[in-house]
């Protein structure tokens, strides 16, 4: 299942796309979690990307907070 949306974190708007399942897998984020793909964008630029492994980890504070919110919700 894909979920998408946006989060307002301070004065940042973070757009997200998350592919998540009912059960975790070996490809899931954070120790066999339910999220297998996750992308975060701000102002059209990718700020984090996970596709069965990290291509780009969240580095900014806004990206890290968005990531934490999405893991809590979907993982």
Q: pLDDT of 8-40, one tens digit each?
A: 999 999 999 999 999 988 889 988 899 999 999
pLDDT of residue 26: 87
Edge-to-edge strand list for the sheet holding 54-56: 2-9, 12-20, 35-42, 45-51, 54-56
Residue 25 confidence (pLDDT)? 87
The pLDDT of residue 32 is 86
> How many domains does the chain fold into?
1
Query: Which structural domain, as residue segments, surrounds residue 28?
Result: 2-74
pTM: 0.93
Q: What is the pLDDT of residue 30?
A: 85
Q: What is the pLDDT of residue 43?
A: 97
Once rounded to an integer, what is the mean pLDDT over residues 53-62? Answer: 95
Supply the pLDDT for residue 65. Answer: 97
């Amino acid at each position: 299942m894909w979920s998408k949306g946006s989060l307002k974190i301070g004065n940042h708007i973070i757009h997200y796309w998350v592919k998540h399942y009912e059960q975790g897998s070996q490809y899931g984020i954070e120790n066999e979690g339910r999220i297998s793909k996750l992308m975060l964008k701000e102002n059209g630029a990718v700020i984090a990307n996970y596709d069965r492994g990290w291509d780009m980890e969240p580095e900014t504070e806004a990206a890290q907070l968005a990531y934490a919110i999405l893991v809590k919700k979907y993982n």
